[in-house]
Structure 1
């Protein structure tokens, strides 16, 4: 996700939403994106809801220092945001809490849900990847605490919850009473 929450007008969906998704590759942080903003320095990928595009950073540092499973999870997380857009979750989340004291909480729950959706997708295709379980265990350790995405332990919890469920039914972070900070 881009670092700044959108305004309600920016999230309004047309009556007939296209499911079409595109990808844009960037070679460096700070470059202009189709979101109308510069690519953030602390991100691997972002989802632009206005153009339904996943923008992915792919440069020599990423290719030499990051596991392919981390890159796979990053794209899956952003695809989770696309699912949130298509289902109306993005719009409902922002319209409900736009510029209220609960905005930060809603933002974290939104990001943790995208992470759970990422885990659900990875879990659903895991056998076809022919990777050991230890690779997924290592993936859960690659995150750090971020105010927008929650504590690393909760990020890992929701990634694992989706992975184990292999579907989106386990990903209602908005109803969760815990593991959302």
Structure 2
């Protein structure tokens, strides 16, 4: 899913400080933008596309379990992206952080539609703990890269309130996640997708281990 693509214009609203309804409206607009973007990419590649369900809540329950402190997750069996509006989002509604909740989880939906999630699951079940950790990191790094591909066409519409290099530095400075891997590598793959502008730049499965741990 590559090619030279023009920018995608999406109407993504401003966020009112302290207003949960405003944050939800932002997420809904981001979801609509991601849906348009990936539908076009799949169509150009001759692949079948269907959008995920998107649930935006202030609670902690979802169709596939409790929502963690990260505030968002993807439920593959239900093909549902669940986003929890956190108190921190109301206190400090940083647009790029909020946008990334949608962009990253949509990356997992793309992985489902293209068979990546099933392939990863087949490898994951019989694997050792260390091999499982590496498989998890490869999956999450690719979702980051897919988010970067999405940003390559939509950043002007998102109006992130931060320069790209500053955003990457913020990603690098984040706490390390056991599931997602080193923040420096997450920033690397996000940037690779952003600068490449196509999913072909996102093959984390053959990347050397040091780039995905």
Band of TM-score, shorter chain: 0.7 to 0.9
Cα separation, partners in 2 of 1:125 and 1:103, compared to 1, 3 Å: same
Aligned twin of 2:117: 90
Aligned twin of 1:115: 144
Cα separation, partners in 2 of 1:18 and 1:137, compared to 1, 3 Å: closer
Aligned twin of 2:10: none
Query: Which deviations, in whole Å up to 9, do the C-alpha atoms of 1:74-121 show, x marking residues without a partner?
Result: 210000000000000000011023141211100110001000100110
> Which of 146, 161, 167 matches 2:198?
167
Q: Residue 144 of structure 1 aligns to a residue in which SS?
A: coil
**Structure 2: gaps spanning 5 or more residues:** 1-47
Structure with the higher fraction of residues in helix conformation: 2
Separation in 1, partners of 2:118, 2:53: 20
Aligned twin of 1:105: 134
Cα separation, partners in 2 of 1:129 and 1:145, compared to 1, 3 Å: same
Query: Which deviations, in whole Å up to 9, do the C-alpha atoms of 1:128-177 show, x marking residues without a partner?
Result: 44667x52223221432111101010011011111111111110000101
Cα separation, partners in 2 of 1:129 and 1:38, compared to 1, 3 Å: closer
Query: For structure 1, which segment, 107-116 or 94-103, has the greater mean C-alpha deviation from structure 2 after superposition?
Result: 94-103
**Equivalent residue pairs, number:** 160
8 Å CA contact 2:95, 2:160 repeated in 1: no
Aligned twin of 1:57: 84
TM-score after normalising by structure 1: 0.81
Aligned twin of 2:61: 32
8 Å CA contact 2:96, 2:160 repeated in 1: no
**Runs of 4+ displaced beyond 3 Å:** 127-132
**Structure 1: gaps spanning 5 or more residues:** 1-16
Separation in 2, partners of 1:76, 1:150: 18
Q: Residue 74 of structure 2 aligns to a residue in which SS?
A: strand
Aligned twin of 2:101: 74
Aligned twin of 1:179: 211
